[in-house]
Every structure is written in structure tokens, then in C-alpha cells.
Amino acid sequence: MGARYTSIITRDGTEFLVPNEDMITQSVINWSFSDRRVRRKIPISVSYECDLRKAMSLMEQAAQDIHRVLKSPAPAARLMGFGDNGVDLELRLWIEDPQSGVVNVASEVMLAIWDAFHEEGIDFPFPQRVVHFANDMPMAAPQSVQAEDADLEQDPALDAGKKS
């Protein structure tokens, strides 16, 4: 805490400068003061053709198998929405040792989900677009550039620099 501002550094190393006036006049909540546990949210998309309940169960099991993920509260998979390319799910899990890293736990969980999905035949979606035409008229195919070039007359100006 300096004369004019307070420096707050997040777990990922980002530093925020908060004016001391705000620290005095506004409510400040220190979420990590009394509880070291940290919740992590991991977004996952699956194809519309997959068994959603099975995918969600596999996500939860994959997280439970990672030793740093807390058993209580248990990891929970949630249906978040229906996206353009797939169904959007989110896995929520808790760890109690964020000082050992948060991203590395998420990476382990995602690798475990990847393996479980591949073993069970659950696909991750990929971007795709379906185009509908307003009328039933067939589209004209473009003519070959070579066919157009064959019909052109020789241009003496272009050929002047060429030596045979």
C-alpha cells in the first residue's frame, strides 16, 4: 500500500493498481483470505450427435482422477448452451493449492477428458457452415482460364520484348 494507491497482484501475476480512496470508500472482499480453495471453470464443446449425459459424466470422472482436484465439492459438469458448432459444456472443479499452479491442473484435466472422449467415441465439434440458396436455379460453372486465353489474339505490344 503506497501513499496514493494499493498494488494487488493476482494468482496469474497480473498487477492491479487500486486508488486508496476506493479501498477506503468502497467495499473490498478478499476471497482468498479465509479460504485458499480456488474454483476453475473449463469450457468444453461436444458435437450435437453425442450422448450429452455420457460426455458430462466422463468429464466429471476425468477431473476426479486428477490428484489435485478436490473430491468435495466434487467436480460438476454443466450444460451451458447450444453453440453454432456444438453443445457448450462447462466443467467446474476446485483445488486447494493454487500456489502450485492452476493452469497445469486444468491442462491435466483437459488431457484426461480428451483421452476419455476418444476412448468412448465422443467427438469435439469443428466449425461448419451450411449455405442455402434462395432459388433453385443452378449456378453457372466458371469457364477455364486456359479456354479464355486461347481465344485471345496475339498482342504485338506484349510480344515486342520477347525473343524467339
Q: How far apart are CA 136 and CA 147, in angstroms?
A: 28
Reported pTM: 0.63
Q: Among 18, 6, 34, 32, which Cα is nearest to 102's?
A: 32
CATH number of the domain at 36-120, please?
A: 3.30.70.100
Amino acid 134: pLDDT:
77
Q: pLDDT tens-digit profile of 85-101? A: 999 999 999 999 888 88
Order of strands, sheet of 87-95, starting from the edge strand that comes earlier in the sequence = 38-46, 87-95, 76-82
Amino acid 143: pLDDT:
66
Return mean pLDDT, the chain.
Answer: 85
> Cβ of 112: how many Cβ atoms within 10 Å?
19
For the chain, the domains span: 1-30, 36-120
